């Protein structure tokens, strides 16, 4: 079967792709999709992505945890932000979290079409994700959330890791997939060192989230694939 895997480098380019029937993998490595993966792995019932900080407040009195991050920092008055260390089993098991982030939730909403499937990718669940993508007979779009619609290295590296693992399973690749794979091959022996080249890295250094960055670059510590069902991300169940 002819199958296509493509890489959309930022949400600002998503309109160039027809994703009505695709599997779309949303990628926001630092830190939204890493934290979502970790939270679902740790037993969160669901994570509801919302666009605006204010939208979180509508959920306030229903026992939900509220998570809001803007420009890399927790919004004042919220339970927590985007750090994966907030998504431990102790804090999230059995809970529903309402989340808004700078880039990740925006990408999730843009990706959500009537007949497609939207899942979450991160280095934490790389192998589980690739194993599943390999078995599905569908075209795949890897959607990098980027930074305020700009290209970023960490999301592109992850897209490249997926292309590299699935190369034998697909017949069609785009130029951005070729580039992402080659960048991943350059970087994979020390992802953290490679990201020190990045403009984003300087910004992250200022936010003092080095521990978060290292956490998000761990590979295959989680086995879940969060999938968007209606308005919420839940654990994909076998055969779903």
Point out which residues bind its own copies (CB under 8 A).
Answer: 9-10, 12-13, 16, 147-153, 156, 172-176, 178-179, 182-183, 186, 197-200
Q: Which is nearer to its own copies, 57 or 183 (CB)?
A: 183
Q: Which is nearer to its own copies, 118 or 180 (CB)?
A: 180
- In terms of C-beta density within 10 A (0-12 exposed, 13-18 middle, 19 or more buried), how is residue 71 classed? exposed
Question: What six digits make up the tokens of 72?
Answer: 């890399």
* 134 SS3 class: helix
Q: Which is nearer to its own copies, 167 or 214 (CB)?
A: 167
- Rounded Cα gap, residues 135 and 138, in angstroms: 9
Q: Which is nearer to its own copies, 97 or 144 (CB)?
A: 144
Question: What six digits make up the tokens of 78?
Answer: 């919220």
Give Cα separations from 8 to 40, 42, 125 (angstroms).
25, 29, 20
Q: How far is the CB of 75 from its own copies (least distance, A)?
A: 24
Q: Which is nearer to its own copies, 177 or 226 (CB)?
A: 177
Decide if 148 contacts 102 (C-beta within 8 A).
yes
Q: Which is nearer to its own copies, 13 or 57 (CB)?
A: 13
Neighbouring residues of 179: CB distance < 8 A, sequence distance ≥ 6: 7, 156, 160
Distance of CA 179 to the CA centre of its chain: 19
Q: How far is the CB of 14 from its own copies (least distance, A)?
A: 10
CA angle 229, 222, 154 (to 5 degrees): 85
Question: What six digits make up the tokens of 153?
Answer: 């290295």
Neighbouring residues of 237: CB distance < 8 A, sequence distance ≥ 6: none
- Rounded Cα gap, residues 219 and 51, in angstroms: 28
Q: Which is nearer to its own copies, 92 or 153 (CB)?
A: 153
Distance of CA 10 to the CA centre of its chain: 13
């Amino acid at each position: 079967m002819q199958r296509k895997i493509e890489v959309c480098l930022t949400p600002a380019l998503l309109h160039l792709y027809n994703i009505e029937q695709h599997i779309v993998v949303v990628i926001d490595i630092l830190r939204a999709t890493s934290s979502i993966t970790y939270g679902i792995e740790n037993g969160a019932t669901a994570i509801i992505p919302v666009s605006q900080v204010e939208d979180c407040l509508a959920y306030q009195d229903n026992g939900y945890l509220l998570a809001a991050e803007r420009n890399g920092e927790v919004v004042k008055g919220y339970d927590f932000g985007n750090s994966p260390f907030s998504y431990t089993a102790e804090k999230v098991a059995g809970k529903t979290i309402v989340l808004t982030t700078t880039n990740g939730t925006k990408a999730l909403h843009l990706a959500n079409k009537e007949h497609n499937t939207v899942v979450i990718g991160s280095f934490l669940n790389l192998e589980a994700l690739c194993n599943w993508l390999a078995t599905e007979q569908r075209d795949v779009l890897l959607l990098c959330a980027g930074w305020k619609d700009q290209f970023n290295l960490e999301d592109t590296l992850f897209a490249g890791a997926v292309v590299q693992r699935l190369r034998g399973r697909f017949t069609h690749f785009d130029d951005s997939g070729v580039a992402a794979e080659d960048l991943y091959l350059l970087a994979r022996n020390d992802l953290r060192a490679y990201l020190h080249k990045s403009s984003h890295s300087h910004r992250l250094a200022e936010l003092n989230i080095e521990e978060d960055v290292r956490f998000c670059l761990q590979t295959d510590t989680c086995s879940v694939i969060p999938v968007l069902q209606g308005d919420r991300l839940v654990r994909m169940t076998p055969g779903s």
